Amino acid sequence: MPGLLRPRALAPGDLVVIAALSGPLSAEHRSNVEETVTVFERMGFRVRLSPLVEQGRRRWWSAGRPGEVAHELNTLLRDPSVRAVVALDGGQTVLGYLDLIDYDAVVADPKPILGYSDISLLHLALYARTGLAGFHGDMAVPGFGGYWPSLPGRDALSAVYSTLLTSPVPFGPLPPGSAWECWRPGRAEGPLIGGVINRIALVQATPYGLPPDRFDGALLFWEELGGQASYVWSYLHVLRHSGILDRIAGMVVGVPQDISGLDETPLRTIVLDVLGDRDIGVLGNVDIGHAGANLPMPVGVRAALDAGERSLSLLEAAVR
């Protein structure tokens, strides 16, 4: 079982590349990319766009065929001048190229990969195969480029990202949001593992999923976009049947987005219904997912959860 693989800490002037690892760039989101370049330049990095980030370029719902997208990623993984990769957008593509990734290149030169949504599937597969601490966090679209320009706490959130990417020192407590809720009190320490809940369920059905014991003592974080409340209930039961809910030590739930039926059956009710009498702390409405700007959640990094106090702290550095 691979241990935690931390990327090298970024230094001023390092190259960050925005890459189309899933969906294509549409005309209405071109300004999001430009704003993302500005965000990372303000952090002190150089930024460039990879070839598939080209307005109007697409194949079906993706930026290219699975082989093309994998080539885009592998080229960046093998390029020593590239020190971090920021996903352009999420979508429905990563499942198509999990078998085409150069996992040896990840081990040879680990670098931060940032993104959520479909990119959370990439984080989970890379963590399973190599131990890479991927950054479940904002992307160019909408994230850095869409949510950040009007964000009241933009400078504070930028400092969180910059510190996590550049400092080989444990970050400590993440800044809590006013909407965070204790859904079930409890304290736990363990590695952060998670992403979009449907992607967690999907990847575990492939050879690129995590061995069950990797969830032992973990803090499971998840969020969801679209669909129905009953779908979330079903995904949670998939995790129950697979034994994951019996292995984890705590749960962090993001803010749901565009899920029908939650006005009748709140997400908190659904989560506690499936958990039953499992004695684990649950922190809800945390700033992760599609509803707004994301706190970065480094996959595999050990964290401390105190749901009753509505706190989440990173106990390890995400980079070395």
Q: Encoding tokens for residue 273? A: 């219904």
298 sits in which H/E element: strand 297-298
In the residue annotation, 117 being an active-site residue is answered as yes
Contact partners, residue 158, CB within 8 Å, separation at least 6:
39, 42, 43, 148
| Cα separation, 277 vs 296, whole angstroms | 30
Catalytic-role residue among 29, 123, 136, 290: 290
In the residue annotation, 136 being an active-site residue is answered as no
Residue that is written with structure tokens 């697409």 in the block: 58
Catalytic-role residue among 22, 117, 120, 123: 117
| Cα separation, 69 vs 21, whole angstroms | 6
Query: Do 246 and 275 touch, CB atoms closer than 8 A?
Result: no
Catalytic-role residue among 35, 68, 72, 223: 223
Count the Cβ atoms, other than its own, within 10 Å of residue 279: 8
Residue that is written with structure tokens 């070395």 in the block: 320
Specify the DSSP class assigned to residue 209.
Answer: S
Residues with a catalytic annotation lie at 117, 223, 290
